[in-house]
Amino acid sequence: MAVKKGHTAELTIESAAFEGKGFGRLEDRACFVKNTAPGDHVKVRIIKKRKSFFEGQLIEVLKEGPDRVQPVCRHASVCGGCTWQHVSYAEQLRFKRQHVEDHLHRIGGLRDVIPLPVLAAPQQLHYRNKMEYSFGDRRWLTREEIDSGITFTDKDVAAGMHAPGRFDRILNLEECHLQVPVSFEIMDFVRSYALKHDISSYNPVKKQGFIRHVMVRNGHHTGDLMVNLVTFADRGDIVKPLAEALLARFPQITTIVNNVNDTPSPSSEGRFENVLFGPGYITEKLGTNLFRIDANTFFQTNTLQAGQLYETARQFADLRPEDLLFDLYCGVGSLTLYTADAVKQAVGIELSPVSVENARKNAAANNVVNCAFETGDMKDVFTGKFIQKYGRPDVIITDPPRAGMHPDVVKTLCELAVDRLIYVSCNSATMARDLAELSRVYTIDRVQPVDMFPQTYHIETVARLTRRFQA
């Protein structure tokens, strides 16, 4: 009998597919199942049927595979924060390398490029320096809760993560192991305070309510601790007493800010920001430099692994004292400053004005005088006019967002044909696409995956490219 949507079936998971789903076969088609590990023999309910694949929902693990481990967190199977907590760390690293290789070969057509073994993270839990918890008035009920028949009186109060695939439902967290423990304690305190003082949570459908997010940032090396209260309205009469209560309970907090996002946008970045306590930012150390990090500026979320990532990029770049270095998508200038001492001049380009302002302040605070920063969209700034202003670079480091580089930027890189090009990527699929174009001009010498995000399928990658034809 042909398998149809809604049917149950048994299969063995053979490997891990992209996005953390297990891969097995059913009726000679691929079948993808979340929360499974290679070697698991499972019972699933078919929730999607297509010509070339099925998607199954895990009902029961009938026999555990050798790579399955017991998750630390009770929410691991339903929370999108840790998709692979049930898989041993050694196997996580192997799967991530396999995914990078698959993207290089299948998307980029670069079948001669074999990635190096993944650089493992020294901490597999509590490694993030930033967590953004969402608040909402519609709690996500688990399948077990729904099937229990119990009426849950707290279903309209929630704080934690968005339920996977749902912008309007919040998984109410009772624990979280991604950031330092005080991070969850702060979120839990705000949740309890809001309940006690009848402070409403934001509803994105009705576009009403008050608390939208609580973001916590911490400095791994400095001990700085920021709480960012993101609200739908500017109500000092509500947030100031909350800030005082937070400081009384958590005296280690070094700054509290209130981002006011009174727009329909789900962003945690407010239309404006009020500083309630402290300087309004934290500092963090990478290498020999201290960095200022505001609530809304990008900074690598795994401080310890950022050091490994930047050191890999620096070594791959083979920097020389006479070099002119361009750092594309430079953020707050962390990688620019990390490499500046080894070159004659380093120039960063970044879209966010706040990040560029931070980059300039970071350079000044660290007495780095051979750096310059430009603001704007990369495809509009990184042009012949820019190169006329600063000169032809010897080496370029590019660290684009998940979408990869704009075709105009790739074209400019090909036309420049610099001696050394370092591509840092948080998405090996779009990196493979860009490398395929760049390989017309550059040789891809090495590809080094770096695990910035244990317990997830995400992987950061550093690629070294050199010009094919030296003058």
Q: Are 170 and 138 in contact (CB under 8 A)?
A: yes
Task: Find all residues with CB under 8 Å of 373, minimum gap 6, and list them.
Answer: 330, 333, 336, 347, 348, 349, 350, 356, 359, 360, 363
Question: Which stretches of 137-240 are assigned E, i.e. beta strand?
Answer: 158-162, 170-172, 211-218, 225-231
Whole-Å CA distances, 181 to 14, 354, 425, 467: 35, 29, 29, 47
**In the structure encoding, which two tokens stand for residue 5, read together?**
């949507």
Q: Are 108 and 433 in contact (CB under 8 A)?
A: yes
* Residue 330 annotated to the active site: no
Q: At what angle do helices 236-249 and 181-196 cross, to 10 degrees?
A: 130
7's torsion region: left (phi>0), alpha (psi -120 to 50) or beta? beta
Catalytic one of 31, 176, 330, 426: 426
CA distance 200 to 240: 16
Q: At what angle do helices 428-438 and 407-416 cross, to 10 degrees?
A: 40
- 377 in helix, strand or coil? coil
Q: Are 465 and 443 in contact (CB under 8 A)?
A: yes
Catalytic sites, residue numbers: 426
